[in-house]
Structure 1
Amino acid sequence: MTADVFAPLAALEGVGSAARAARDAVDVLLRDRGLRRVGADVTAEALLRGAHASAALAGSPSTLAEVREGTGDALASGAVRMTRELMSLARQADTAPVQVWTRLHQLAAADLAPADQLGHLRTSREPLPDDIPGLPPAPPADVMWERLSGLAKALTTATTAPGLVVAAIVHAELAVLRPFPVANGLVARAAERVLLVARGTDQVAVTVPEVGHLELGASYARGLTDYAEGGVSGVQSWLLRECEVVALAAERSPLNNSARS
């Protein structure tokens, strides 16, 4: 039997209670607004705002208005493309995670890389990617492949960990491993969003975690670096940060009148 690798991480001090509080924030949002009032337009708006925030974290100068009008730069366009398939990809997240990640990359990098690099997992013959500022160097390809395979196996194994813990670990692993030549940050954040939907944290995708990451952007690279280099305490800090992000994502939902732009 394959071990549940996520459960011990969810049991780290403070993580369980923080995860419950973050999930409560999402549940209150949905309960107060009523799930039957959540239309496709609200989900589309939340995903659009998330795409803009994720692109901004990746260095895009495009405004939300430009992204809404379809005139954003290549990073923003890639982020928006991912949102169009995100809900359908969520249905495959627990059975074919690698295929989900490669599809996200195909969408994210369509205007950033040659066609033969789209959905392409890097090899040892290629330079290490350095597309997420502030992180330590990406690991060699053989290390990346081993960890990516282990992550995919863990995702297809039953776990008692909350969905947001699983999503946070996948986000961090993809960001730290940087399995693709470009657009790794966009893919990592979209993969997190896919799992928040797939694991039931926000199954209708009306929270905006990418905005949470952007608003807490000063700690983003530091949090990922701590995750990569800080051992158990670094993982714990990243998971606690994720709980803060998810709670903030609920506040920034377009379901909240105060969050509407």
Structure 2
Amino acid sequence: MPDAVASLRALAELPGVPERISAAREACERLRWHEALRRRIPEASAESRVRGAQASAALEGATVPLELVRDVMRGAAAWPLEPDPVERVARGVVQATAESEHVRSLVATAPLQALARLHVAAASGLVEDAQLGRPRLHGEDCEELVDLGPAPSAAALRARLDGVVGLLAAGAKGAQVPALVVAAVVHAEVATMRPFVRGNGVVARALERAVVQALGLDPTGVAVTEAGHAAQGGPAYLGALAAYGTGTREGVGLWLEHCAAALVAGAEQGEQVCDAVRAGRLS
């Protein structure tokens, strides 16, 4: 873990990154003190997951109405018995975003279990049951996120996953590593290594949500970080991930700045959620 701590601290000091970290922290602090969160955190965090799921689905190319996502997540509606391809993807995103609330206590203590649970939620109905909740095996490929280049081989995944475990442990044990950096790097590692046959981007964003909450940056879970990513556009999101994948200081710095901007925008949308909750404007 000492190497992980040193690496994360070094990333936090890349040019331009400290200022972005401070801006994200301040945005989350403003959100935390919103009047609506004195008594209505569950309602606000539930709506945040609704909006986050819609935004995450959009990044997967699945555009669905916000009202439908809200109704499904509160149990007032159900997906069709035979969903079309867009609905199948959206269903997985909604399930994974909802599951993020339940795995936040696991991201530091049992991160591989958290990943497995998020993948089962994200990919049920999209892959064979035997492929759910486990990394790819020899002979299994991933055709997602092709803009990031070829996915690492199944044989290379164990070391990469062990690295994610180390990163989360470093963030959780009071190592004075910015939570934003931990969440951003874990997000990028899952997205670029693509440990699963399908559902990797969905899992990466749901995991980021859980980490931001678990490490105390947004303890209420009201920031809509997924919407912050989507607001910058799919090409910008993929471009920043590709930059991270180069492994250069400039590329990693670009990704960290992208994630910081996403969290600032997500916290601002969280404030809008709080305003709507306080005014009773959620339908």
Q: TM-score range by the shorter chain?
A: over 0.9
> Would you say 1:73 and 2:90 are equivalent positions?
no
Gaps of 5+ in 2: 73-78, 80-85
Distance in 2 between the 1:133 and 1:122 partners?
16
Q: Give 1:91's aligned amino acid.
A: S
The equivalent position to 2:42 in structure 1, one of 16, 40, 43, is 40
Q: Give 1:153's aligned amino acid.
A: G
* Native 8 Å contact 1:58 1:132 kept in 2: no
The equivalent position to 1:82 in structure 2, one of 77, 80, 96, is 96
- Post-superposition shift, 1:228? 0.3
- Post-superposition shift, 1:133? 4.8
Counterpart of 1:175?
Answer: 191
Counterpart of 1:213?
Answer: 229
- Post-superposition shift, 1:61? 2.6
The equivalent position to 1:144 in structure 2, one of 147, 157, 168, is 157
* Native 8 Å contact 2:36 2:275 kept in 1: no
Distance in 2 between the 1:160 and 1:134 partners?
34
* Native 8 Å contact 1:144 1:179 kept in 2: yes
* Native 8 Å contact 1:133 1:221 kept in 2: no
Q: Give 2:197's aligned amino acid.
A: P
Give the number of aligned pairs. 259
Distance in 2 between the 1:34 and 1:44 partners?
13
* Native 8 Å contact 1:122 1:180 kept in 2: yes
Mark the CA change 1:236 to 1:257 in structure 2 (over 3 Å): closer, same or farther: same
Q: Give 1:40's aligned amino acid.
A: P
> Would you say 1:160 and 2:173 are equivalent positions?
no
Counterpart of 1:95?
Answer: 109
Q: Give 1:149's aligned amino acid.
A: D
Counterpart of 2:201?
Answer: 185
Distance in 1 between the 2:115 and 2:200 partners?
10
Query: Bigger CA drift: 69-78 or 187-196?
Result: 69-78
- Post-superposition shift, 1:68? 2.2
Counterpart of 2:251?
Answer: 234
* Native 8 Å contact 1:50 1:208 kept in 2: yes
Query: Bigger CA drift: 48-57 or 136-145?
Result: 136-145
Distance in 2 between the 1:84 and 1:211 partners?
15
Q: Give 1:61's aligned amino acid.
A: T
**Aligned residues with identical type, % of pairs:** 38
Counterpart of 2:10?
Answer: 8
Distance in 2 between the 1:164 and 1:34 partners?
24
Query: Bigger CA drift: 34-43 or 15-24?
Result: 34-43
TM-score norm. by structure 2 comes to 0.86
Query: Bigger CA drift: 85-94 or 101-110?
Result: 85-94
Mark the CA change 1:13 to 1:172 in structure 2 (over 3 Å): closer, same or farther: same
